[in-house]
Structure 1
Amino acid sequence: MSIHSVPEKEIVVIILYTSLFLVVMAVVLVAFFYFSRKKIIEKELEKKDLILQYQKEQLYAIIITQEEERKRIAQDLHDDISSKLNIVSLNSHLLNAPNLTESETAEITDNIISLTTKALENSRKIAHNLLPPVFEKFGLNAAVEEICEEFESSKAVKVYYKNEIDFNDNETDRHLHIFRILQELMNNSLRHGKATEIWIAFKNNNEINTCNYEDNGIGFDAKCIDNQKGLGMKNIESRILFLDGTIKINSEINHGIDVMFTF
């Protein structure tokens, strides 16, 4: 009996140890998968938080840009329109003064006509900056051609524009973002970059619409993050976000700027 009982005990012990080992391994595997999954979830949450933070920053940039634009329009209305209309009002009251000579009446009338004409011209300029009539009537391509001509009329810069895309007239809202991006880039090239030449090209590469923008200005150090954090750049990035596009900016000091964005 003892000879047969010893192996049976050993078998029981082996089974117990094996079972215990398997249980421990199962616990270890469950713990491993649990913590691995937990880390994956944490990373996903961190990624979502970063995306939300980025979207908040872009939204904040848009709000700031809109407020700056409103201030500029209000200032233009006050300086160019209101001041002239106030003088027109004063001159109009002068016409009611007694004993005015014919020459005085003619002079006051001429002043009223001149100031009214200037106020109308300035109001057209303000309206044009808000939404160019050419853009509204003829679309993005015509609006870009017009702004290129306007910049060239200053005799300070030469603009080379080429378009290989047939723009859809039903995407006016999206096209306005593209126009504003180019407007911002061109203003920066002239004001800050001191550029004398600008190149703009719309192309379709592998079913992806792209815009290549270059100038020969003084450029900047693109590696310095602070150089790409200005209000203008945040405004551009916000518009790119709305277009579901991407943007790459390359620049070196004294070597101009090279921008490529998709939309």
Structure 2
Amino acid sequence: MHFKKNTYKLLLALFLVASQFCFGFQSQSFGEKTKTDSVSYYIEKNNLIKALDYARKKSDYYLETKNYAAYCDMMIQKSEVYRSFNDMVNTIKTLYEARNIAETNHLLEKQALVYRGIGNINGIIFEYTKGKKYLHKANKIALQLKNNDLLIKTNQGLTKIFFETQSDSTLYYLNKVDFYTKKSKNLRDIALNQNNFYNYYTSKNNNIKAKKHLDSSYTIALKIGDKALIASGKNNLGVYYMTVEKDYEKSKQEYLDIIKMFPNGENSMDLSQAYLNISYAYEKLGDYKNAYSYNNKYLDLLDEKNANLYKSNQEIEIKYAINKVENEFKEKEKAILEKQEKNQKLLLLFASLFILAGFIFYFYYQNLLLKQKGKLKDIDTKLQYKIISATLDGQDEERNKISAVLHDHVSAVLSSVGLHLSAFESSLTKEQVTDLKKTRALLKDAHDKVRDLSHELVPPLLVKFGLQFALKDLCENNTNSLVQFNFHSTLANDRRFNGEFETKMFFIVSELLNNVMKHSKASKSKLLLEEIDGKLVITIEDNGIGFDSKNISMSDGFGITQIRARIKNMQGDMKIKSKIGQGTTIIIKTLLHKAS
């Protein structure tokens, strides 16, 4: 029980820091009123994919029509959608694109908004020096423009960074935000900053001042009827009653109020915090049944949130990769069509001036059309290869992420649950101990299955020892009474390549060996790894029934086209030698991808 008590205290502290501080982030707006086709509308509907798609289309339109101010606003909104996915790379990239337009066109207010966004993101990724630099630049422009709302936001960002770095300047910037919020008379901004004062004085163990500011923030939240602020205030009140007054009954009631506020599960952040903290309150009150029930609700909500975010992120990444390939094709097609139109005009001009040479130009024109059709066909083929490769790369990345989630999160949660069960054991009766042992056995079985699934998705031997050892192990595992796989390699035992390259090659070879087992009816197969002229050469031979390699098409059932597309995208080549009744030989050559 002592271990469990300390664990809950740690979780409470983490929630206090992670979800209650609102130095400039809770008050961020997407800059437009909610309508049926807008970023804000899709975000309220929890459809981040459509929000991002809408932001992309609108920003492209504004850039094309040279409406640079609207373009900057939309790019800031797009960066916020990326930040919702925790995709900091695209968040920063989008803000830098907006910064270039704002600076080139001398849009001071937009520059300040972009600088503020860049500063806040740098604060999130712990680049505090760079974060302060951009926030100070934004603050300077806000002072120049006398923009009170922007001054509030820039100083909120600075307050957050100084708070996280435990700087003595935190209180200075808190007071600055207080000055500008009172000047604007925006009750929501005032309530947020009073909440920030509460968090600051809580961190200084000054409970009297902390409670004063908490009451002020909560009173304003009730006045304006902001559910999110009310929920935040009740969560803080619950923590205060538990940690300061030790009144667990009052604390419990605050969290019950929050749960009633969101009957449909909206506002998952405050709701999940309420579930976790009320579980602790029930435990302190001796009601272990409800404590266990609400702790499970917290874990269910947390898992559901992570799963939805992961799924949405994967859909966007795959959609973005395919969209990128399609856009490249459209650009090339447009260039060819423009060239074709230009050639047509030239031909018509010469035909009118030189009638006698009309037949010559006619044949030239027909020949040119045939070449251009050939180019379009070639581009279409390359497009299909790229789409196949982009889809397979997305599947590989999804496999790696699922494996990481199973190993790093689900497995860790199951281990944590096991520790919690161990903490209960000393206080249980013999009958309860027996039930507990059964529960722990089931838990261990689930843990083993999660571990095995993680290893199936990404073999640990591949990650730890590299491609050679993983392929050798694959041959040994697939050898049976029907077919024997022999592995040979001329590479050094410690030869390693780039991790992503090794993963792709492993699953390519795995698929080819699977084809040998399914279709070749071979009794022997040989896998050979060599390094020749700076290239990795992989040869797969079998003594099976073979097939007519000349009849392989885009619709073949062996997955050869998909494999060839992937190898081609890796700057490699694959040759197949096979005749009916004479077995099959597949040779893959790719450029070496050295380990980083």
**TM-score > 0.5, shorter chain as reference:** yes
- Alpha-carbon contact 1:219-1:257 (below 8 Å) kept: yes
Structure 2 equivalent of residue 217 of structure 1: 544
- Aligned-pair CA distance for 1:183: 0.6
- Scaled by the length of structure 2, what TM-score is found? 0.31
- Aligned-pair CA distance for 1:226: 5.3
Q: Larger deviation: 217-226 or 125-134?
A: 217-226
Aligned counterparts, 1:1-263, within 5 A: 32=360, 34=361, 38=365, 41-62=368-389, 65=392, 102=431, 106=434, 108-152=435-479, 154-165=480-491, 169=496, 171-225=498-552, 229-230=556-557, 232-263=559-590
User: CA 1:230 to 1:55, structure 2 compared with 1: closer, same or farther past 3 Å?
Assistant: farther
Amino acid at match of 2:458: L
- Alpha-carbon contact 1:212-1:258 (below 8 Å) kept: yes
- Aligned-pair CA distance for 1:182: 0.5
- Aligned-pair CA distance for 1:199: 0.6
> 2:526 & 2:371 partners in 1: Cα distance?
41
Structure 2 equivalent of residue 21 of structure 1: none
Amino acid at match of 1:157: V
User: CA 1:244 to 1:67, structure 2 compared with 1: closer, same or farther past 3 Å?
Assistant: closer
- Alpha-carbon contact 1:221-1:251 (below 8 Å) kept: yes
Between structures 1 and 2, the one with greater strand share = 1
Aligned residues: 218
Amino acid at match of 1:118: D
What SS does structure 2 have at the residue aligned with 1:255?
coil
Structure 2 equivalent of residue 18 of structure 1: none
CA RMSD across the alignment = 4.0
Q: Larger deviation: 199-208 or 38-47?
A: 38-47
Deviations 1:99-127 (A, max 9, x none): x973x863x44543443333333322322
> 1:31 & 1:200 partners in 2: Cα distance?
59
User: CA 1:140 to 1:68, structure 2 compared with 1: closer, same or farther past 3 Å?
Assistant: closer
Give structure 1 stretches of 5+ with no counterpart. 1-25, 93-99
User: CA 1:116 to 1:250, structure 2 compared with 1: closer, same or farther past 3 Å?
Assistant: farther
Identity of aligned residues (%): 23
> 1:135 & 1:184 partners in 2: Cα distance?
16
Higher radius of gyration, 1 or 2: 1
User: CA 1:113 to 1:214, structure 2 compared with 1: closer, same or farther past 3 Å?
Assistant: farther
> 1:110 & 1:216 partners in 2: Cα distance?
53
- Alpha-carbon contact 2:386-2:569 (below 8 Å) kept: no
What SS does structure 2 have at the residue aligned with 1:246?
strand
What SS does structure 1 have at the residue aligned with 2:548?
coil
Between structures 1 and 2, the one with greater helix share = 2
- Aligned-pair CA distance for 1:46: 2.7
Deviations 1:116-166 (A, max 9, x none): 3333333223222332222222221122122122223x5543221222245
- Alpha-carbon contact 1:220-1:227 (below 8 Å) kept: no
Amino acid at match of 2:487: Y
Higher relative contact order (CA 8 A, sep 6+): 1
> 2:478 & 2:461 partners in 1: Cα distance?
16
Structure 2 equivalent of residue 20 of structure 1: none
